[in-house]
Amino acid sequence: MKSIRSMIGGAALAAVLLSACAPQTVVVTKEVEKQVEVTRVVEVEKVVEATPVPATIIKVTSTNGPDENSGTQLARHRLLTLGFKEIRPDVDIVANPSPFDASTFPARLAAGTIEDTYLVAFTEPQNMIANGYAADITDLLSKWEGFSSFNPGVLQVVQDANGRVYGLPVNGYAIGLLYNRALFKEAGLDPDKPPLTWDELREAAKVIKEKTGKFGFQLMPATGEGGWLFTAIAYSFGANMIEKKDGKWVATYNDEATVKALTLLKEMLWEDETVKLVQDGVAAATSLTNGEAAMHIKAPDLLFWMHDNLGAKVENYGQGPMPQAGGNATLTGGAAWMFSPKASPEVLQAAVEWSIYRDFDLATYELDLKTKKERGELVGIPSLPLFTGDYQARRDEILKKYINVPLENFAPYLNATNITMKPEPPVEAQKLYTELANVLGAIASDKNADPQQLLDESVKTFQTQVLDQVK
Amino acid sequence: MCAESAADPEMNLTPALNPPRARLRLLAALRRNAVGYFFLLPALLAFATFSWYPIARGFIISFQKYDLVKGAEWVGWSNFEFVLNDPLVPIAWRNTLQFTVLGLLIGYLVPVALAILVNEMKRGKSYFRLAYYLPVILPPMVSVLLWKWFYDMDTGLFNAILQGLGLPTQRWLFDRNLVMLCLVVLSTWANAGGTMLLYLAALQGVPSHLYEAAEIDGAGLWRRLWHITLPQIRGVMLILLVLQIIGTMQLFTEPFVMTDGGPANATLSVVMLLYRYGFRFYNFGAAAALGLILFFVLVAFSILYLWLTRRVSQSQ
Amino acid sequence: MARSLPLNLSRLRARASGPAQFDANERTLISPLELRSPAKRAAYWLVFGALVALTITTLFPIYWMYSGALKDTSELIRMPPTLLPTQARWENYLKAWDNLNYTRYFANTLILAFGALVIQLVVSTSAAFSLSKLKPAGGRIVLFLFLSTLMVPSMAYLIPAYLTVVSLPIVNIPLIDTWWGVWLPGAASAFNIFVLKSFFDEIPQDLIDAANIDGAGAARILAQIMIPLSRPVLAVVSIFTLIGTWKDFFWPFLVLSKVELQPIMVALWRLSARMQEPLNLIIAGLAIASTPPIILFLIFQKQIIRGITLTGLKG
């Protein structure tokens, strides 16, 4: 036992911390796999406890810890921390079950009581980075073998203009079209063929309204999320929102592309009357689950919420790519782990190593999927590959074993190859989304609103109030 | 004998050592004030530590650029310049005033009326007290879910009622002209029960012989209401009026939870804008500056209010 | 050497304002006589009916919550909602209690609420008493300083307030992750002081003077005159405080990061934000959480009625 343990410990250490070649990682994974069964936690515990405790213990705190009421989650976490203890016996992991909360984050960061690492949605990192509230982990990551094969399209979410990395994305989903297959069938539309262009979408919405009486489409004209989704829509029309011209940042979202996007939405809302307005994410999820509207611009990760929280049946839903109108682009959603700028270097290093071990170690990945499947949660909703090449291939192999969603429903989404993942607007994206929500709100409440005029005014205000102040 | 001398310090002392009266009066006054401040002490400590000190620090931030990691640096008036030049600020003030006025017309009078009516009911007072207070007890998550459904344009209750009555359906939260009213109704529903209880407590203190005397004088229902009931609870009414105005000027929860300041900034209130500055855009200096401006407005209002009420009571 | 016998309220009152003040105060605006007339009776019942009809708007959400907990989640979110669950799942309540580890959070909520009640009542009542009856020098300024805290939006000083709780000035004691971090800041309630003071103001000074002559000190006046006579408003303020603390979610969430200390509202929010539990169990949890406040309300509100026989002070 002891010799295997030290072999595993040594091999894992080598694999994770130093540049090791692929074959060794495979060996390590197979060995650790044998210990993955939850019932053997106690044995591993005894072994770890036999190790002498190092003089100084580094404590790493994180959010999104295991639910204290879930036996499986607790067991999984226990095994993870034990496995990590073998690599870094001087590190204690304390995982707080609370999630990240934007309202309490500033206070806790100011006081230094924020966790060392926290899981945030993709809309947060750029804002944090720009304000200096994210720790630069580029150097710590470069020691990790897997880093070089990280998918750049996803990594850009946590990078600044100079390519420095400030976080670790753990999933990424291209925003596309989430639709209700059952309603499509009822309206006589082919559920395997969601609309691929905006004109097609407009037609489909009309048909659904006519044949089923339900709304064909739903729109979120409020909150930052609404502005973010509209940005994705505008991207699909070819807009850029904010561009750099002659060294200055210029708001360009009153261009032809954005106006076209906004006009289409307005006409669908007021003329076709095929659009349901939803106030926020909860309303959007509820409305889709209830079958009140058939299509929604969103990434497929909403299905997790709809299924786990609201009891939706996954077979009834499908995902298509973002409908296009010349832009061939869309935005990405997802979650990333960020690191506290107030963490000391040792803590930061330990936190990064822990993150890599927890999320990218193949054995724990498999255990995770296994646990999710046992709990009845969804496994296999298509997401952007986090890595490229060999490592990703191995991850995909593992995933195939546990998929419990009907992948055919996502075929159009997976097969769309000519759509680019465009990064978020380069500066002040949060303020842009708030401003866009404003414009959308005007369209939603005023039948006679003029998209061109609204966008012109908005661009003018945004340029003078926001972009001109950026140094 | 002893009791009297303990009560009256002046009797305690022998003539030979009797200091002048003025000094004794001063000592008595000091002792009175000491007792007074003794009872004030817990509150003073609590406020000093958890209110005045943080508020003062907050006000200082309005003159700084406050970085959560690196600390603060002084920037003089530039936060105030920023706030006063932001085109959203006048919009926020307008919306807040609109809500306050609507809130007074609806949210202030409803609890008074409810309290008076409930007080008259011979039976079922406990039922009414509980029933009207339930919205306050209800967890916000539940009330938000339900009211969002009530106001839903397509499947919502209110539009269903309107349709049933043959009236045109409304866009409610997506109608720039109606949305404020929607929030006021929600806010009244959520809070009326509490203020109603306070008025009920005050109404208990109205002596019945006043009513009897008025009846003997031949005063009808409305005159009794106007000349006895209302004046008797006037103290509480005035206080709750000023507290309500101060409270509604700080409108935040309803627009934050229901409309996020929309549509098109129709429900953007001053405190919502403050929240955005600080917690979304991380500009704490601007948030503090806006808070300071709001504070001065409310202080000015309170002083005006006190002066007016004193003028009114003096003229009576 | 003051008298050790309790102050005799009735005797004081008699001395203060004469025997005419004693009423079994059962009549209000409308006299029992008026209700004999059929027109007035009709009007009465009309108003009664309207008041009952209005209570439907307040009862329906409660009903939706309690009955929604019995539903399947997909039925629960249906709008318009079904009046009766198609299949009442009473086990949801048990499941919620187990899955959500209710016992601990419940206990936490009780501790937080009652601790806050005691502290707030002590602080606010003594302050209101002092400002109303003892009137120390500078009392008006102090009152204004208390009130001015109501005029600053709490968002504006959230960060400094939190920093203060993280490390108290001068003594540098952290209140984070302790009950005190919630109790003590809550003690500074200008609203409670203001309301209590205005009710105390209505108690006639003659009563106080009479007690003074009897040799009572400030503490006894507070305990034996002010508080008994203020039962209605104290009951109301207690209800507000208890239920306010019960529902309070943001500050406890900020201050109590340790899960073992969190009250039920914070725990439920946390679980629903992370999609840990299906919505019907969350609603069941909320329904269970709402039950004690309702019970507490029913207990406390009786105090408002009992105050009737002791009033009749205004003259």
Chain segment C194-219, per-residue pLDDT in tens: 989 988 988 888 888 888 888 888 88
Give the distance, in angstroms, between the CA of residue A466 and the centroid of all CA atoms in the same chain.
27
Average pLDDT (B79-86) is 94
pLDDT score for B315? 60
Residue C170 within any structural domain of the chain: yes
pLDDT score for B209? 83
Over the stretch A16-74, which tens digit does the pLDDT of each residue have?
Answer: 333 333 333 323 333 333 444 444 556 666 666 766 777 788 999 999 998 877 777 78
Report domain extents, chain A. 10-44, 58-172+342-358, 176-332+390-469
**Whether A222 and B263 lie within 8 Å, measured CB to CB:** yes
**Whether A108 and C162 lie within 8 Å, measured CB to CB:** yes
CB burial string C23-45: b at 16+ within 10 A, e below: eebebbbbeeebeeeeeeeeebe
CA separation (Å) from C16 to A420, B191, C21, C209?
87, 38, 10, 9
pLDDT score for B17? 58
Look at residue B68 and tell me whether its pLDDT is greater than 60.
yes
Which residues does chain C have within 8 Å of residue B51's beta carbon, measured at their own beta carbons? Answer: 149, 188, 190
Contacts of A among chains (3+ CB pairs under 8 A)? B, C
**Whether B205 and C23 lie within 8 Å, measured CB to CB:** no
Q: What is the DSSP string of B40-67?
A: HHHHHHHHIIIIIHHHHHHHHHTTEEEE
Nearest residue of B to residue C293, measured between CA atoms: B137
Looking at the 3D structure of chain C, how many domains does it have? 1
**Whether A67 and C162 lie within 8 Å, measured CB to CB:** no
Looking at domain A176-332+390-469, does it have CATH number 3.40.50.720?
no
Find out whether A255 and A451 touch, Cβ atoms under 8 Å.
no
N residues, chain C? 315
Over the stretch B137-155, which tens digit does the pLDDT of each residue have?
Answer: 999 889 998 999 999 988 8
Residue C135 within any structural domain of the chain: yes
pLDDT score for B316? 53
- CA gap C178, C176 in Å, rounded: 5
Place of tokens 């003073």: B44
CB nearest B39 (choices: C127, C239, C311): C127
Name which of A50-54, B94-98, C274-278 the model is least confident about.
Answer: A50-54
**Whether A445 and B279 lie within 8 Å, measured CB to CB:** no
Q: Give C235-239's long-range contacts (Cβ < 8 A, gap of 24+).
A: C235/B201, C235/C300, C235/C301, C235/C303, C235/C304, C235/C307, C236/B197, C236/B198, C236/B201, C236/C304, C237/C121, C237/C124, C237/C192, C237/C195, C237/C196, C238/C117, C238/C121, C238/C300, C239/B133, C239/B197, C239/C296, C239/C297, C239/C300, C239/C301
Average pLDDT (C38-58) is 89
At C41, which helix (H) or strand (E)?
helix C38-68
Segment 248-287 of chain A within 8 Å of chain C by CB: 286
Residue C281 within any structural domain of the chain: yes
Look at residue B203 and tell me whether its pLDDT is greater than 50.
yes
Over the stretch A243-295, which tens digit does the pLDDT of each residue have?
Answer: 999 989 999 999 999 999 999 999 999 999 999 999 988 899 999 999 999 99
Look at residue A159 and tell me whether its pLDDT is greater than 50.
yes
Look at residue B15 and tell me whether its pLDDT is greater than 60.
no
**B280/A contact by beta carbon, under 8 A:** yes
Q: What is the DSSP string of A223-265?
A: HHHHHHHHHHHHHHHT--SEEEETTEEEE-TTSHHHHHHHHHH
Task: Report the percentage of chain A scoring pLDDT > 90.
Answer: 61
Residue C275 within any structural domain of the chain: yes
Look at residue C15 and tell me whether its pLDDT is greater than 70.
no
- CA gap A109, C163 in Å, rounded: 10
- The amino acid occupying position A411 is A
Tell me the pLDDT band of A110, cut-offs 50, 70 and 90: very high
- What CATH code is assigned to A58-172+342-358? 3.40.190.10
Over the stretch A58-105, which tens digit does the pLDDT of each residue have?
Answer: 999 999 998 877 777 787 888 888 888 888 889 999 999 999 999 999
Which residues does chain C have within 8 Å of residue A106's beta carbon, measured at their own beta carbons? Answer: 159
CB nearest A107 (choices: C79, C99, C254): C254
Which residues does chain C have within 8 Å of residue A289's beta carbon, measured at their own beta carbons? Answer: 74, 77
Q: Which residue has the higher pLDDT, C101 or A444?
A: A444
Q: B308 Cβ partners below 8 Å, 6+ apart?
A: none
Q: Which domain holds residue C123?
A: 91-309
**C51/B contact by beta carbon, under 8 A:** yes
Residue C42 within any structural domain of the chain: no
pLDDT score for B7? 46
Task: Report the percentage of chain C scoring pLDDT > 70.
Answer: 85
Residue C214 within any structural domain of the chain: yes
CA separation (Å) from A279 to A142, A434, B32, B290?
42, 14, 59, 27
**Whether C169 and B135 lie within 8 Å, measured CB to CB:** no
Q: Smallest CA–CA separation between C162 and chain A, in Å? A: 6
Q: Which of B118-127, C46-55, C79-88, C221-230 has the highest mean pLDDT?
A: C46-55
- CA gap A330, A232 in Å, rounded: 5
Question: Considering chain A, what is the average pLDDT of its residues?
Answer: 86
Tell me the pLDDT band of C32, cut-offs 50, 70 and 90: low
Q: What are phi and psi of A129, to 5 degrees?
A: -65, -45
Q: Is the pTM of the predicted complex or chain greater than 0.90?
A: no
Which residues does chain B have within 8 Å of residue A434's beta carbon, measured at their own beta carbons? Answer: 276, 280
**A431/B contact by beta carbon, under 8 A:** yes
Domain CATH code at residue C297: 1.10.3720.10
- CA gap B234, B247 in Å, rounded: 19
Residue C80 within any structural domain of the chain: no
- CA gap C290, A458 in Å, rounded: 45
Residue of C276, C280, C281, C282 best to disrupt the A interface, most CBs of A under 10 A: C276
Residue C86 within any structural domain of the chain: no
Q: Smallest CA–CA separation between A104 and chain C, in Å? A: 6
Look at residue C86 and tell me whether its pLDDT is greater than 90.
no
The torsion defined by the Cα of C181, C186, C187 and C192, in degrees rounded to 10, comes to 180
CA separation (Å) from A244 to A251, A387, A434, A464?
9, 30, 21, 15
Which residues does chain B have within 8 Å of residue A120's beta carbon, measured at their own beta carbons? Answer: none
Over the stretch A173-222, which tens digit does the pLDDT of each residue have?
Answer: 999 999 999 999 999 999 999 999 999 999 999 999 999 999 999 999 98
Tell me the pLDDT band of C7, cut-offs 50, 70 and 90: low
DSSP bridge pairs for A61 = A94
- CA gap A449, A436 in Å, rounded: 14
Over the stretch A378-418, which tens digit does the pLDDT of each residue have?
Answer: 898 988 889 988 888 999 999 999 999 999 999 999 888 88
**C77/A contact by beta carbon, under 8 A:** yes
